[in-house]
Structure 1
Amino acid sequence: MKQVTICLFLIVSFISSAQIDRVEPPNWWIGFHEQELQLLVYGENIGKTTPSISYDGVSLKKVHKTESPNYLFLDLLISKNAKPGTFKIAFKPLKGKVVTYKYELRQRQKPAEDYVGFDSSDAIYLITPDRFANGDVSNDINKSLLEKKIDRKDDYARHGGDIRGIIDHLNYIDEMGFTALWSSPLLINDMNSGSYHGYAMTDFYKVDPRFGSLEEYKELAEKSREKGIKLIMDMVANHVGVEHWWMKDLPFSDWINFQERFENKESLVYSNHQRTSNQDRYASEVDKKGMTDGWFVETMPDLNQRNPFMAKYLIQNNIWWIETLGLGGIRQDTYPYPDKEFMSEWAGAIMKEYPNFSIVGEEWSYNPLLIGYWQEGANNRDGYDSNLTSTMDFAMQANIVSALKEEEQWATGLVKIYKGLANDFIYACPEDIMIFPDNHDMSRIFTQLNENVVHTKMAVAYLLMLPRTPQLYYGTEILMDDTAKPGDHGLIRTDFPGGWKNDPVSAFTGEGLSKEQKEMQQFVKIILNYRKDSKAIHTGKTIHFAPENGIYLLARELDNEKVVIILNKNAEPVQLDLERFAELGLEGSTLKNIISNEEVNWEDSLELSGEGAFIYTTKLN
């Protein structure tokens, strides 16, 4: 009998004991408009405890238990009178020892108004960090993670690029003329393979140790700010990696979409990718569900943002990163795929806390109606308000490529650009739309334009003059290509030359670059550095003239500054009659060619030496 009593006591003690493995967000700040904070607490049997808090200005309003015994969600109210400091949260089990956790409230480092996002005055440099530069070889392999190798010969393996590599080359980014930096995600992707890109996150609060540490991420943010470079963070609200820590112990039966099929190891339901179902007044419910709830791939579970705890978790996580890093913007991946009502709530919550902030959402559509639908201020018939400052102009990008590739019907081609820009009437704020020649998910612009250097220069020059917020992908400035396998993601994300020790070619120093690569790099650098200080390009009036005889002219003007770009598809020299452009008020003016520094008189005609982009400004100094 004595032995049985001892065994029962041990069993009861074991069941009633609890532990805390994580609390998220790991800290918070005083002074937000939203005074409620919801903590996710995870640990064995923590759901069987009763929590309590004793701290001036902080009250525990509600405790939520989950279907798993290992979670609690705590609703805290942080009053305006709360002071920075550390307080204890006590978790009392039915029997046994009370578990305590120290939680910190911090003072915000700067007022909300000082979080200024990117806009049309910026030029954004997009990089894939694993492929940009390896600044710390000691973190290349982490034996505690599932993928335990690097192999630069394998386009889908990790190559070793990291945060230190970005920090080491901030001077290059700055000197090129970029004013904002967007890196694809740097959070941990502890997946078996193919997760170098960062979009299969396995912990929303942890930097991938192969990229570096949280302190290095903060250093990148601080050193970027010192150079006037805004740091944009790539967020993912739609999905996680299947190795995410919570996938082994989900808190609710509706935490992810089609969860029952995942848990029963049944065949999954994949997204139908019918993004128009978000706007289509005739769309069936099955198509809508197939779009938002379906998984991308079997290794990326689709998150259910209709679960209020998931929704709160994602919003708070993004605010935590804005505050922790002092961000200058967010890029939200796969914007139309999550629940669209949640996305409005998400963007609205962020913009409420940071009124001068910027968020760009990825809408991969060639239809301006769909692109414009997601922007804040859109006059949507269904009354939908996205709260989103910016979306991405895949439509105009496609028009530019199509126009420049038309060799035989050049006049028709340039009209495509002209008519494409004419669609700006649909946008609430065209200047906030993000334009780009290429990105990490599509073929390099040099490949798209059949490796035509002149056309590549024309494409880049034109989009940098548009009433848009421009983004360039690393390597575009040196004509990087994926011609061997067009569209292959691993090849699109090729290593940036010079980012690894002993690279025979370096884009940072120019060593080993071809003449054409050096000229392209200088071409981009000149335009970006002019654009950096050009108020006319940032916010000026735009006027363009319908193409004639293979020539298209667009002008930007503000106060005394006027900038003119002329796209010429004629192979031979042309005398351009300037009479048609009289309304620009340039007659008798002296203008300077931004690229060559040559001065010209705007009189009766202007000689164009051949095919290409010609950019002139009234600013002579």
Structure 2
Amino acid sequence: MGNRVFALFILPCLLFYAFPVQAAEKEERTWQDEAIYFIMVDRFNNMDPSNDYNVNVNDPKGYFGGDLKGVTAKLDYIKEMGFTAIWLTPIFKNEPGGYHGYWIQDFYKVDPHFGTMEDLKTLVKEAHKRGMKVILDFVANHTGYHHPWLNDPAKKDWFHEKKEIFDWNNQKQVENGWVYGLPDLAQENPEVKRYLIDAAKWWIKQTDIDGYRLDTVRHVPKSFWQEFSKEVKSVKKDFFLIGEVWSEDPRYIADYGKYGIDGFIDYPLYNAVTKTLTKRDQSLRSLYDVWEYNKTFYDRPYLLGTFLDNHDTVRFTKLAIDNRQNPISRIKLAMSYLFSAPGIPIMYYGTEIAMNGGEDPDNRRLMDFRADREIIDYIKKLGELRQKLPSLRRGDFTLLYEKDGMAVFKRHYKDETTVIAINNTGKTQKVHITNDQLTPGKELRGLLAGDLVRSGRDGYDIIINRETAEIYALADKTGINIPFIMAIVAVYVLFILFLYLVKRRSKQAT
């Protein structure tokens, strides 16, 4: 009996060694290879009841109890979907009511609602164990409404004079005005500049975080960002800075890249995504047009953060529902684009369960981990493909076809070509791709839905069901694989011989 069990154990090993194994070429991981999961800490996951003071889940502007331990507990959940980094809303101590983290009271303390410095260090360590990176939100533009510095005569010149922004095209007003009435820091003051830069460097040294998402970049002088970038990057190699420059003009955003900020939140693409993918039968041409602009204006367009929604916008789900669309179908289609197009995909927590929500604070609802997994499982497939196929992270990007919402894109990197087909219409679509557009004599292997398209004499005919997407790998045509069949036969011959010898040995023993 023991010999038979051993034989059953050895068979998979024999089968494994019968298959040819190709060693994948290892390339150094860069930030354009990441996918980011964005978390509003207070609204995500409550694991530590000891810090649940002033919690009221019925108050949209109150604390809900989410904390750093709650984020740590869900790292495997996040990684399972294919995300390789997390971005947290500010965790610095806020004044009362600052559940979101943007009303900073102390730049050197963790907000007690979220936990302790040890909790943050543990989170970073556990993320790094899983090969995940951690990005903190850093606010250099303002403090909370009632910061102690406002009543300190020695720090009177730490703030700009209280003024609203009336002309958003006037850069001086944009940089010196009080956004939403928040006290505007005077970064041109050497003391203020030194304080903010020292604080930013301190958190890196204390916790080993991997990057900052820079809040309200356009409201801070470019000269400050130039020095800030240089100094924080001196602390840790490959430290990443991704900035929020809320503008529809890519030229305006891209100009900040001259001052040391690596990437930017891609608001022009966000505008195109919400106009085209929240309803059917909308042309996808604008998505590609944004990429053409990005290539033109940015030095590093692959480091732009692409997204469907965030804590400052209406939820993508709500826009789809308002358009009388199925939000699940819409999200799956939109995420297919984000995970296969150039840029770093950033997904706001709750998108994976089609969380609804209007304007702030309705777009910051409590996460529900008991929801349906349909979107989660789909994103998991996308995440796996993005990590396995370098062309989806590093390849060039070409539009092969677009008509009324049916689009086909091509990405190519080294010897790898992938094709992305997105049907944003209400009907099944057939698209012909010519031999001039794709290498002839091969086949397209569907990796999301298992479709297979063999080339004909004059090209490829791709058929996609309504409101679905497929990601294809361009490969040699499959046929009768003689070496493979011979290997299988050899394995079974060896297995039968093994059983014969075992049986003969057992007879001799008796």
The TM-score, its normalising length taken from structure 2, stands at 0.82
TM-superposed deviation, 1:497: 0.6
* Superimposed CA distance per residue, residues 203-239 of structure 1 (whole angstroms, 9 cap, x where no aligned partner): 0000011110001100000000000110001000000
Name which of 370, 393, 412 aligns with 1:538: 393
Partner of 2:496: none
Name which of 277, 280, 284 aligns with 2:170: 277
Q: Which stretches of structure 1, 4 residues or longer, exceed 6 Å deviation after superposition? A: none
Partner of 1:171: 76
Percent of matched pairs sharing the same residue: 30
CA distance in 2, matches of 1:363, 1:273: 17
Partner of 1:234: 137
Equivalent residue runs for 1:425-436 within 5 Å: 425-436=296-307
Name which of 432, 456, 464 aligns with 2:339: 464
TM-superposed deviation, 1:526: 0.7
Secondary structure in structure 2 of the residue aligned to 1:491:
coil
Q: Is the 8 A contact 2:265 2:306 kept in 1?
A: yes
CA distance in 1, matches of 2:102, 2:167: 18
Name which of 583, 589, 594 aligns with 2:437: 583
Secondary structure in structure 2 of the residue aligned to 1:366:
coil
CA spacing shift, 1:440–1:217, aligned 2, 3 Å:
same
Equivalent residue runs for 1:46-125 within 5 Å: 119-125=31-37
Gaps of 5+ in 2: 1-27, 477-510
CA distance in 2, matches of 1:556, 1:302: 44
Secondary structure in structure 2 of the residue aligned to 1:312:
helix
CA spacing shift, 1:431–1:223, aligned 2, 3 Å:
same
CA distance in 1, matches of 2:167, 2:311: 19
CA spacing shift, 1:308–1:522, aligned 2, 3 Å:
same
CA distance in 1, matches of 2:280, 2:381: 28
Secondary structure in structure 1 of the residue aligned to 2:127:
helix
Q: What letter matches 1:351 in structure 2?
A: K
CA spacing shift, 1:407–1:534, aligned 2, 3 Å:
closer
CA distance in 2, matches of 1:198, 1:234: 9
CA spacing shift, 1:441–1:117, aligned 2, 3 Å:
farther
Secondary structure in structure 2 of the residue aligned to 1:205:
strand
CA spacing shift, 1:363–1:118, aligned 2, 3 Å:
farther
TM-superposed deviation, 1:367: 1.3
Name which of 192, 201, 207 aligns with 2:110: 207
Partner of 2:245: 363
Partner of 2:365: 494
Q: Report 1 or 2 for greater relative contact order, CA contacts < 8 Å, sequence distance ≥ 6.
A: 2
* Superimposed CA distance per residue, residues 357-400 of structure 1 (whole angstroms, 9 cap, x where no aligned partner): 2101101111111121112xxxxxxxxx3111111110011112
Matched, 1:527 2:378: no
Q: CA RMSD in A?
A: 2.2
CA distance in 1, matches of 2:364, 2:463: 40
Q: Is the 8 A contact 2:205 2:235 kept in 1?
A: no
Name which of 462, 468, 471 aligns with 1:612: 468
Partner of 1:108: none
Equivalent residue runs for 1:44-443 within 5 Å: 119-141=31-53, 149-191=54-96, 193=97, 195-258=98-161, 268-272=162-166, 274=168, 276-278=169-171, 288=172, 290-298=173-181, 300-375=182-257, 385-405=258-278, 407=280, 410=282, 413-424=283-294, 425-443=296-314
Gaps of 5+ in 1: 1-115, 142-148, 259-267, 279-287, 376-384, 499-505, 508-512
TM-superposed deviation, 1:546: 4.8
Secondary structure in structure 2 of the residue aligned to 1:206:
strand
TM-superposed deviation, 1:405: 4.5
Q: What letter matches 1:348 in structure 2?
A: K
CA distance in 1, matches of 2:228, 2:73: 34
CA distance in 1, matches of 2:167, 2:351: 29
TM-superposed deviation, 1:521: 1.6
TM-superposed deviation, 1:448: 2.3
CA distance in 2, matches of 1:252, 1:530: 53
TM-superposed deviation, 1:609: 2.1
Q: Is the 8 A contact 2:307 2:345 kept in 1?
A: yes
More displaced 10-residue stretch of structure 1: 565-574 or 329-338: 565-574
Secondary structure in structure 2 of the residue aligned to 1:449:
helix
Q: Is the 8 A contact 1:418 1:546 kept in 2?
A: no
Q: What letter matches 2:436 in structure 1?
A: A
TM-superposed deviation, 1:315: 0.6
CA distance in 1, matches of 2:191, 2:164: 24
Equivalent residue runs for 1:468-479 within 5 Å: 468-479=343-354
CA distance in 2, matches of 1:399, 1:351: 33
Partner of 1:97: none
Q: If each structure's helix is expressed as a fraction of its own residues, which one has the higher value?
A: 2
Matched, 1:601 2:494: no
CA distance in 1, matches of 2:402, 2:62: 46
More displaced 10-residue stretch of structure 1: 597-606 or 438-447: 597-606
Secondary structure in structure 1 of the residue aligned to 2:469:
strand
